[in-house]
Amino acid sequence: MSSREPALALPALGYGAANVGNLFRELSDDDAWAVLDAAWESGIRYYDTAPHYGLGLSERRLGAFLQTKPRDEYVLSTKVGRLLRPNPRYAGGLDTANDFHVPDDLQRVWDFSADGIRTSLDESRERLGIERIDLLYLHDPERHDLDLALAEGFPAMQQLRADGEVTAIGIGSMVSEALATAVRSADLDLIMVAGRYTLLEQPAAADVLPACRENGTGIVAASVFNSGLLAASEPRRDGRYEYGQLPDELWDRLVRIAAVCADHDVPLPAAAIRFPLQAGEVRSVVVGGSRPAQLRQNAEYAALDIPDALWHDLAAQGLIPGADD
């Protein structure tokens, strides 16, 4: 087991800025600012974005907002691996194939080379209008070529860290195998685990958490509401699960989890936010949100005092890993 000191201290709650990149629906500039302002006023001080989110719109909006705040008061992460380049096939359409309601006048181009990684960082700095990026993730490398990421992408990021260009580096993915492989093969500080370690399901517990424990790598848990399934105390059977319908087995599990939370008078979303932090490897939970009220509510949930008995009862019913798992 590694005992290395964390390269970067993270607040327990962060905001994932995909929504201000017009994820799923269009936000005006004023609406996006109101969301970010609600996050800040609620005490959130870690912000995560990516070129992928709205073809750069998320970075531009988040950067404009954070430029009004003292730089030493927040942590900022973005991602590399996809460069944004003019789309020669642009015909006035939207990027709805990727769930973003923005013009698809740009296209994403994979590039894990040293030049590509450095260029991506520089272009993100320009869009953000902020020079200092604290944390850099390689975004979904398994969707392109994980072997190439291991051979070129991560070494390029390690060099940026060694040169003092960023404080910490990692990988962001929703694929447990890719996350575990990256942790064991590259010198990473933090990884963003999207949807693979949540109150509803914990496939990352089998391989990713042990790899992080062995290597002293911290975890940022994202997509902790499982596409919204855990975002309300009373689950809905017609809720979506990732890109399709919710399987019966997971629905039954969700109903049982909600019942245990109700028995302890704990809102299901509060348990969803706080659950990942029960693992010592998890340093922060990142939540999204496209309305100011959602951000204020999530911050309240994150601060809620949750009895240990809740976790004990969930573990006793086999709904979350127990202390010995």
What proportion of the chain, given as a percentage, has pLDDT over 70?
96
How many alpha carbons lie under 13 Å from residue 60 in its C-beta half-sphere? 8
Chain-centre distance for alpha carbon 124: 17
Largest Cα span, the chain? 57
Beta bridge partners of 245: 240
Rounded to whole angstroms, the Cα distance separating 310 from 290 reads 29
Query: What is the residue-averaged pLDDT of the chain?
Result: 95
Instruction: Domains for the chain: give ranges and CATH numbers.
Output: 13-227+280-304 (3.20.20.100)
Q: With 0-12 CB in 10 A as exposed, 13-18 as middle and 19+ as buried, what is 61?
A: buried
Residue 311, both tokens: 């976790």
Q: Are 273 and 285 in contact (CB under 8 A)?
A: yes
Residue 216, both tokens: 């002293």
Q: Could you report the per-residue pLDDT of 35-91, keeping only the tens digit for each?
A: 999 999 999 999 999 999 999 999 999 999 999 999 999 999 999 999 999 999 999
46 is catalytic: no
Q: What is the DSSP letter of 142?
A: G
What proportion of the chain, given as a percentage, has pLDDT over 90?
90
Q: Could you report the per-residue pLDDT of 205-234, keeping only the tens digit for each?
A: 999 999 999 999 999 999 999 988 999 989
Secondary structure of residue 35 in the 3-state scheme: helix
At 199 the pLDDT is 97
Cα–Cα separations (whole angstroms), residue 319 to 174, 202, 208, 235, 274: 21, 9, 19, 16, 15
What confidence category does residue 6 fall into, taking pLDDT thresholds of 50, 70 and 90?
A: confident
Which one from 15, 47, 53, 197 is the annotated catalytic residue?
53
